[in-house]
Amino acid sequence: MEERKASKRCGGVFPFIIGFLAFCVLGWAVIPGLFFDKEEQPVWFSHAVHVEGQGMDCESCHYFRDDGTYAGFPTNEVCAECHAVDPEEAQAAIVEEGIDPTDYDAIMKAGIGAIEDNLASSDDDKMQAEREYVVKYLIQGKEVPWLNYQYQPDNVYFSHASHMSLSIEELASLKKELSDVVDPSVFEGEAPEQNCNLCHPKDIQANDVPPALERNILSGYSKTTMKMWKCERCHALKGQPNACYTCHK
């Protein structure tokens, strides 16, 4: 009897409502965040230092090759145009010091002239980042495994060349229709000369600390990787073909 009374006291719609509201809040505010792991870039690369500090422009590193393909991230060959540490000379100096060439910490602490004398940075923290790049990648002949915030699956053929003529200014008329495809803030303020912001982090050229890549723990893709429906929506709005072979070559 006691239990029946208790049931009446606690019964009704309230527990249902509490459960409903609690999981609505969790489902909207908490759980989506749990789907992503944050991964830091392998090297602290400051766009601000390179663009504002050294007066470089986007095309210095992110350029189209002679055959029209897009180079994406710069290779060691490009970086070495400015970071003038000679890999062979540095390796020889490391061996001369009696340091294990794979013991990066020891190399960085040793203050080896063949490396230190050729570092371009002046601030201590920036110099440490540059030193890390030089020691771990440049003199090892290994390319930096940069994390790509927008990388597409291998079965998608995305041509930067085909999209380079898209104008943010012109697309502003479709701002409302595109609101769930691209970040609406892209259309705020004066339209930039280049349209990279449409898909890539806005104003990344002024960024000093690279944002962490948020990787979906289930799918493995970046949070900002564009989904197929977004590509299709934009193609439809721009009157472009949406046949499978347009992107899946």
Partner 1 sequence: MSVARRTFIQLGAGATVGILFTPTVWKALDDVSIWTQNWPWIPKLKYGAVEAKPTVSKMCESGCAVKVRTVAGEPFGTMGNEDNPISGGGICPLCANGVQVKNSPNRIKAPMLDGQEITWEKAQEVVAEKLAAAGSKVAVISGDQTGTANEVFSALLADKGSDAFYMMPCDMQAADKAWTGLMGGSGQVGYDLEGADLVLLAGADALESWGPTVANLKSFAANESGKFIFAGPMQTKTASVTSLWVPVPAEGMAAFTLGIAYYVLQAGKTVDTADFGQFKAMVMSEYSPAKVEAATGVKADRMADLAKQLLTASNPVVVPAGPVAAHGAAFALNLLLGGAMKALPEFGKAIPSAMSRSEMLKADILEGVDTDLLFIYEANPAYALPEKVKAGFTVAFDVVQTETTATANLVLPSLHPYERFDDLASPYGLAAATYSLGAPVCKPSVDAISAATFILGLADLGFESFEEVLGAKAEAVGADMEALQGGEAFVAEGETPAAASLAANVLGKAAVPVKGTGAVGLAPYTLLNVGTANQATTPNAPCTISNNQLVGDHMVVMMGSATAKQLGVSVGSKVKLSGGKGDCEALVQIFEGVMPGVVAAPLGLGHTVGDEFSKGKGDNVYKILTVSSEAAAGASTWAGSTVNVAKI
CB of 181 to partner 1, least distance (A): 16
CB of 202 to partner 1, least distance (A): 24
Residue 152: which of 235, 232, 216, 224 has the closest Cα? Answer: 224
CB of 128 to partner 1, least distance (A): 29
Nearer to partner 1, 172 or 217 (CB): 217
Nearer to partner 1, 54 or 179 (CB): 179
CB of 65 to partner 1, least distance (A): 6
CB of 168 to partner 1, least distance (A): 26
CB of 74 to partner 1, least distance (A): 12
Number of H helices, E strands in the chain: 14, 2
Nearer to partner 1, 6 or 166 (CB): 6
Residue 197 makes CB contacts below 8 A (sequence gap 6+) with 168, 183, 186, 203
Nearer to partner 1, 176 or 249 (CB): 249
Nearer to partner 1, 32 or 113 (CB): 32
Nearer to partner 1, 6 or 206 (CB): 6
Of the CA atoms within 13 Å of residue 229, those in its CB half-sphere come to 2
How far is residue 82's CA from residue 65's CA, in Å, rounded to a whole number?
19
How far is residue 189's CA from residue 185's CA, in Å, rounded to a whole number?
8
Please give the backbone phi and psi of residue 15, each rounded to the nearest 5 degrees, phi first: -60, -35
Residue 41 makes CB contacts below 8 A (sequence gap 6+) with 146, 147, 210, 212, 213
CB of 18 to partner 1, least distance (A): 6
Residue 127 makes CB contacts below 8 A (sequence gap 6+) with 119, 121
Nearer to partner 1, 9 or 117 (CB): 9
Instruction: Give the binding site for partner 1 (CB under 8 A).
Output: 3-4, 6-7, 9-11, 13-24, 26-28, 31-32, 35, 65, 67, 69, 71-72, 75, 153-154, 216, 218-221
Q: In this structure, which amino acid lies at residue 12?
A: G
Q: Among all chains, which residue has been given the structure tokens 């013991």?
A: 103
- From residue 215, alpha-carbon distances to 149, 179, 228, 231 in Å are 9, 23, 17, 20
